[in-house]
Structure 1
Amino acid sequence: MQYHDSIEQAEQKMHAAIKQLQLWHIPATPTNYAVSYHYLNQNSKQLNSAIEKQLATGKKIDNFFLAEAYRQYVLKQSAFRSELIDDLDEVLVDLHANSTQSSVCTNHLINQLDHNISNLQSTNKNEVFSAIKQIRQNTKHFKLAQEKLAEQLRLSQRSTDALRSELDEVKKEVYLDPLTGLYNRKAMTKHLDTWLSNDPTKHVAAIVVNIDHFSQMNERFGPLLSDVLLAKIAKKVSSYVGESGLPIRSAGDEFLILLPDVERNIAGEIAEKIRQGVEKLRFVSSKSGTRLPPMTLSIGVSDYNVATSANAIIKQTRALISDISQTLTNHVNIANT
């Protein structure tokens, strides 16, 4: 219906989309199918350009790449949407702070009026009594109005809390990888920008984590089981990251950890703990009861100034293990310079 196709045309495009996925050696999941369908219909120049660039550089079209493409180009989670979320978040914080301050000031004013009534002085007692009566009436009316305002603010606060909860859910869609729950590259760029604006001299240690022979595991056991393994390994990896650290899913079977203000040798020790922790994991298929092969990691460690781009950090840290990954696995390689 989206392209006003006839039933015959729609069936032809459906088969073509599935065939395209087969050429990419990708399973026909709903997400993958949607991207393939949009790609063949050339509905998004940006989507087609991203896929063609991926193919031209010899990089693999995998589930991770298509999931990112689906969110960015099919669902159209644009930069504007991210900026809008941030703006709304700031407005909500300001509204809550202003409302609180307004209530405090109003209560203070009322207390001062009540306290100073007895200090009114005049040579004419009738005028004093009249003034006191008027002040008390105004104060009473003001208090009633404030009580109504306070109730409105309580209702507004509940609405604000509900909106904030919705925004948190949207942020998860924008900044989190849905399979692993780790941050995505968009979140990485946002954090780097924030760190840079706060302190241009800040350094971060970077740990790139690659799962050894994961593509063979995927081919042998299928994408569903591979996704389960990936999620479990991601959880284990992130368990070694403190509150200030940023665990990211940077590629299909690759994670990146950013540790602000952590020295490279300390990051190397953390990387070794991660390697050993995953090496000790044992996996069993819940469906067949088959014990799966142990999983190991190849890890690279370096550090960067926060002004370094996200792509440069990933590329340069990845190079620490990609050059020797064919001959050496289950190791930690720390940059010399």
Structure 2
Amino acid sequence: MMKYKVPTTPINYALWYTYVSEELPLLNERLEALIANNEICPPVQSASLYREFVADPKDATTWALRSSVDKMLQHIDQSLTDTHNDTNNFQKNVEQTFGEINNVENDALSFEEVVVLLKKLQGDSKKIHRSTAFFSETLATAKGEIESLKAALKKSQQQALYDSLTGLLNRHAFDTEVSAYLESQTQGLCLILADIDHFKSFNDEWGHLLGDQVLKVVGRKLNDSMRDGASAYRFGGEEFVILVPSSQLRIARHMAESIRKMIEKLSLKDKRSGETIKNITLSFGVVEYQPEESLSSFIARADTFLYEAKRLGRNRVLPL
């Protein structure tokens, strides 16, 4: 552990004790490959190995439950928003219909019969109005409670490692991992910053649910493309970052170009309309770490190339 500058935490002790015991050959194989590819033992990936091979099953269950709750809250939140809008529209329609009924002249009925009918309809309308108004208030209250739960869950997940939507490592994991690299091994460290082109249009045209599907499929493809110690993270929104240790700019750029070509071949089917969406592309900025460079400068250089790739027409990797 001293050789590879592994922090002396209980989790790391348990992981390396299991490694030395040689009780789990697959763990040994994975850990040795991790070190061979990175020349250090990345803390986030070490924690993943601990959770996969060493941790109590209850810990894994808790992790999975927290992820499921997060997904559930996202769906409930969207459903409540849609239902709230529907009830408001229904309320307006009822009021409009009631106004039209008040103007109906039916020569087949006596005046007294029309009055009775209108009063009955008026009473029914008031009941529906009260019902929908109460339901709207209930939904508003429930939505507020869900927002509070989401905020509490987000706070509890700040120390978590994975993004619940895409399954990729999250921003906190990236910050932890890249800091470890900068403190221990910066030779040949490359960073790839990627952003989904025209992502806002997916949400505007097809809805947020399809936008989430785009994020999921891109995240899955990025994760499947990782090799030789590279790790993919959801950086935020529709932006992703890939760390490529012990590499070269040329190699990292080639990786980005391979991913770009793979992503542009993707297609998704909208289950509601049956239409197929094919115009999914990524733009990339790629940099290699420079001696004594700060983390903010490292990321900013990649972001500059990414912005330029967008300006030149998107779906490209810079520098050339």
Q: Give distance in 1, aligned partners of 2:183 and 2:15.
A: 20
The aligned residue for residue 86 of structure 2 is none
- Partner SS state of residue 289, structure 2: strand
Structure 2 residue 243 is matched with structure 1 residue 258: yes
The 3 A distance-change label for structure 1 pair 198 and 219 is same
Q: Give distance in 2, aligned partners of 1:228 and 1:263.
A: 33
- Of residues 282, 289, 310, the one that matches 2:267 is 282
Structure 2 residue 12 is matched with structure 1 residue 90: yes
- Partner SS state of residue 205, structure 2: helix
Aligned partners of 2:14 and 2:54 also within 8 Å: no
- Of residues 172, 175, 179, the one that matches 1:193 is 179
The aligned residue for residue 332 of structure 1 is 317
Q: Give distance in 2, aligned partners of 1:171 and 1:309.
A: 34
- Give 1:197 deviation, angstroms: 4.1
- Give 1:302 deviation, angstroms: 1.1
Give unpaired runs (5+ residues) of structure 1. Answer: 1-84, 102-157
Structure 2 residue 240 is matched with structure 1 residue 241: no
Q: CA-to-partner distance for each residue in 1:113-151, whole Å, 9 max, x for gaps?
A: xxxxxxxxxxxxxxxxxxxxxxxxxxxxxxxxxxxxxxx
Q: Give distance in 2, aligned partners of 1:284 and 1:226.
A: 12
- Of residues 194, 197, 201, the one that matches 1:209 is 194
Give unpaired runs (5+ residues) of structure 2. Answer: 1-6, 23-52, 68-156
Q: State TM-score, norm by structure 1.
A: 0.49
- Give 1:270 deviation, angstroms: 1.1
- Of residues 166, 169, 172, the one that matches 1:180 is 166
Q: Give distance in 2, aligned partners of 1:159 and 1:272.
A: 37
Structure 2 residue 277 is matched with structure 1 residue 292: yes
Q: Give distance in 2, aligned partners of 1:324 and 1:187.
A: 26
- Number of residue pairs matched by the alignment: 193
Q: Which has the larger radius of gyration?
A: 1
Aligned partners of 1:298 and 1:332 also within 8 Å: yes
The one-letter amino acid of 2:299's match is I
The 3 A distance-change label for structure 1 pair 280 and 93 is closer
Q: State TM-score, norm by structure 2.
A: 0.52
Aligned partners of 1:189 and 1:310 also within 8 Å: no
Aligned partners of 1:196 and 1:202 also within 8 Å: no
- Give 1:316 deviation, angstroms: 1.9
Aligned partners of 2:266 and 2:278 also within 8 Å: no
Aligned ranges for residues 72-87 of structure 1 at < 5 Å? 87=9
The one-letter amino acid of 1:178's match is S
Q: Give distance in 1, aligned partners of 2:55 and 2:274.
A: 48
- Of residues 301, 307, 331, the one that matches 2:286 is 301
- Give 1:331 deviation, angstroms: 1.0
Q: Give distance in 2, aligned partners of 1:245 and 1:190.
A: 15
Percent of pairs with identical residues: 26
The one-letter amino acid of 2:282's match is L
Q: CA-to-partner distance for each residue in 1:277-305, whole Å, 9 max, x for gaps?
A: 01111221123211124211111111115
